[in-house]
Amino acid sequence: MVFALVMTLTATVITLFIVKKFIKPIEIASKALSKYRSNRIVSDLPTYYYDEAGLLMRNIQESIQENENFIQEKQNLIYML
């Protein structure tokens, strides 16, 4: 009975550790997007992963960069006027 309890607890800890590792890229992407929205700080997210979390980070990075380029073009146009 105690052995089954110990094995269940061990399996639970291992599962939680693995789930935390899977959630880490989403957490990084969320923090980068939050920093950009609040302070306009452009983070350098990894764009070389090809799983779903990697695609999410790549899309966020590209969207932030496109937004920055648009803001820069807008500022250049204002300076020219």
In a domain, 8, yes or no: no
Domain-located, residue 37:
no
pTM score of the predicted model: 0.73
pLDDT band (50, 70, 90) for residue 66: very high
Q: Which amino acid is at 69?
A: N
Q: Which of 66, 74, 7, 3 is nearest to 58 (CA)?
A: 66
Q: Is residue 18 part of a domain?
A: no
Q: Is the pLDDT of residue 74 over 90?
A: yes
Tell whether 3 is covered by a domain: no
pLDDT at 49 over 90: no
pLDDT of 47 strictly over 90: no
73 is in which domain, residue-wise? 44-81
Which CB contacts under 8 angstroms, 24+ apart, belong to 18-24?
Answer: 22/53
Task: For residue 29, tell me if it sits in a domain.
Answer: no
| Residue 34 within a domain | no
Q: Does a structural domain hold residue 72?
A: yes
User: Is residue 48 over pLDDT 90?
Assistant: no
Quote the number of domains for the chain: 1
Report if residue 49 sits inside a domain: yes
